[in-house]
Amino acid sequence: MESLSLAFTGGWASGINAYLVVLVLGITDRVDDVAEIPDVLARWDVLAAAGFMFAIEFVADKIPWIDSTWDAISTAIRPTVGAVIGVLLAGDATSLETAVLGVVGGGTALLSHLAKAGGRLAVNGSPEPVSNTVASVTEDVTVLGVVWLAVEHPQLAAAIAALLLAGGLVMLVVLARFVRRGWRRWKGREPVRQH
């Protein structure tokens, strides 16, 4: 059950910020040697690469429209990282458990990534840049807190991740309806006639 909770939480968090997830899990394992965290995440080369990519994402995520481009590129990366973390948590690459945890990690990462990317597109419509920075920092702090909590209390963290995922998906549906309604109104308006 702990592996499933960790895979779900790691997947959700990977969909928001995959590099931060690798950093938190890797540093936690290096400092505390947590049995559930695969040792490969604590390797110096993995931590260095994750740290470098997190630094790039940290900056890119704060710049309007650059963050949406980064999210588009990350559509393949974030779910893959979530799936890999799920497989690593399973430990045995030949079992049904491995497949299930990989699907849970990757699927959850894809859903949370779509919610994040959709929300950030809406934030980019704001005329001021502060909302982008606030959204990005809030995402980073939430990922950090939930992944740290997952190491100590996996079921609680999975429940919180599930609530955050559901909230993000509901927000995405509401935004999509709002945009669709606005698009219909815009398309249906009468053209301005000149005499």
Q: Is residue 178 part of a domain?
A: yes
Q: Is residue 108 part of a domain?
A: yes
Q: Is residue 137 part of a domain?
A: yes
- Taking the mean position of all CA atoms in its chain, how far away is CA 47? 18
Q: Mean pLDDT throughout 68-80?
A: 89
> Which domain covers residue 92, as residue numbers?
2-188
The confidence score (pLDDT) of residue 195 equals 60
Q: Mean pLDDT throughout 28-53?
A: 91
- Predicted model pTM: 0.76
pLDDT at 53 over 80: yes
Q: Using CA atoms, how far apart are residues 98 and 89, in angstroms rounded to an integer?
A: 8
pLDDT band with cut points at 50, 70 and 90 for residue 101: confident
DSSP 185: H
The confidence score (pLDDT) of residue 93 equals 60
Q: Which two tokens stand for residue 98?
A: 């491995």
Q: Is residue 47 part of a domain?
A: yes
The one-letter amino acid at 49: A
* Percentage of the chain lying above the pLDDT 90 cut: 37
Q: Mean pLDDT throughout 85-93?
A: 77
Out of 19-23, 68-72, 93-97, the most confident range is: 19-23
Which residue's entry shows tokens 């947590």? 34
Q: Is residue 195 part of a domain?
A: no
Count the domains in the chain. Answer: 1
The confidence score (pLDDT) of residue 1 equals 59
User: Which sign does the torsion angle of CA 29, 82, 146, 162 carry?
Assistant: negative
Mean predicted lDDT score pLDDT of the chain = 86
Q: Is residue 193 part of a domain?
A: no
Instruction: Give CA separation, 139 vs 16, 50, 62, 111, 191, in Å.
Output: 7, 17, 11, 15, 42
Torsions phi, psi for 84 (to 5 deg): -65, -40
pLDDT band with cut points at 50, 70 and 90 for residue 102: confident
Q: Is residue 141 part of a domain?
A: yes
| 92-96, 123-127, 131-135: segment of lowest average pLDDT | 92-96
- Burial (CB count within 10 angstroms: exposed 0-12, middle 13-18, buried 19+), residue 14: buried
pLDDT band with cut points at 50, 70 and 90 for residue 156: very high
